[in-house]
Amino acid sequence: MSTEVKVPVLGESITEATLGQWLKKPGEAVAADEPIASLETDKVAVEVPAPVAGIMGAYSVEEGATVNVGAVIASIEEGSAGAAAPAPTAAAAAPQPVATTAAPAPAAEAAPAGDASDLPLSPAVRRLVLELGIDPSKIKGTGKDGRLTKEDVVAAAKAAPAEASPSAETAPAKAAPAGARQEERVKMTRLRQTIAKRLKSAQETAALLTTFNDCDMSEVIATRDKYKELFEKKHGVRLGFMGFFTKAVALAARDVPAVNAQIQGDEIVYHNYLDVSVAVSAPNGLVVPVVRNADAMSFAEIEKAIADFGAKAKTGSLTMDDMSGGTFTISNGGVFGSLMSTPIINPPQSAVLGLHRIEDRPVVRNGAVVVRPMMYLALSYDHRLIDGREAVTFLKIVKEAIEDPARLLIDL
């Protein structure tokens, strides 16, 4: 007797998803509620749990296929773990002699595949493993449930050049003939497709404009250095710069509410709360989980929320609730070394604050040229709703609050 595995309800207004990865192979034992597949929706990855315990049956759809909510994607057969356990072991043992054979390209590719037979690898990770000649069984995965990510494979290749050197012998064979040009076509993930559509829509719909300023980070850095150890000891989280900027945005939004508003039809919706979308880098692209009621949160609460979102994004465990809503976005390109950029708003929001790297630059203070740690700030906004005067005023308030953090405490 078999039990059908169906696509679960994915969230409000979401009717389909892409089957991103099978986490269990046919013939493997599965426990009830154990993840057997990963689905990619417009916003996050969702795992499909096994409805019952048993043996993984045949797939009804392949990786990369689009599936609707309620569709049957596989089956679970009756059986025990003991009956299925030897199968993967035997399968894994078979290819190993091939890995010791000589240099033909198919044999070289078979080695990592054999070593990885017990590991659920996404197509992109499996391809990277083959290209770099890395043994995936020797890499500690940082993804959900210990699965490997592309970053894990790249880091392992950089950390162990000696181990990767044998693959260099096969690399010329792939690259031959000399000067040959190669192309690779990879289907866009559903998340990347959604990001592309939303950003293009923002450019076509909103009247985008960006205003810039710079701020002296000396006081914030000094404050952070002075209290970071006590802060971490008391609250169990590191004191970063995002807490200061989130507080500064909350302060500025009170004086310039249009920056925290949205256009809906022929109406403007003003919010008396601040839900900050924090741009976080995830394996499949940029995501923006929401810190809700950030204006009413303490520094520790803000830093904890952002740290939790960062960890969840890395493991692909962000939920729909984590991603929904948001009235303003803060994007920190400085962590990647960006000096200056023009960020794009996250519709239906009307503004986004872009942070950049901190760099020592000469500035004039009291008639003398001194060196200060400076950061460029960029505010992109929808000119249909926000006037230039309001945008400049908002950014000026943020700048003043960062340069004099005491303003955050006395509401100036």
Q: Which residue has the tokens 């509401």?
A: 411
Residue 288 pLDDT: 84
Residue 155 pLDDT: 81
* Any domain includes 90: no
The full 3-state SS of 151-167, as one line of letters, equals HHHHHHHHHCHHHHCHH
d(CA 220, CA 297): 19
Q: Which two tokens stand for residue 271?
A: 């919010």
Number of separate domains in the chain: 3
Same domain, 203 and 302: yes
Packed helices 218-235 and 388-403: angle between N→C axes, nearest 10 degrees:
70
Same domain, 364 and 288: yes
* Any domain includes 180: no
Same domain, 360 and 304: yes
In which residue ranges of the chain is pLDDT below 70?
A: 11-13, 42-44, 80-124, 126-131, 144-145, 160-178, 191, 283-286, 412
CATH of the domain at 370: 3.30.559.10
Same domain, 65 and 135: no
Q: Which two tokens stand for residue 369?
A: 């040229």
Residue 272 pLDDT: 93
CATH of the domain at 24: 2.40.50.100
Residue 196 pLDDT: 82
Catalytic residues: 383, 387
Domain that holds residue 7: 2-83
Same domain, 330 and 406: yes
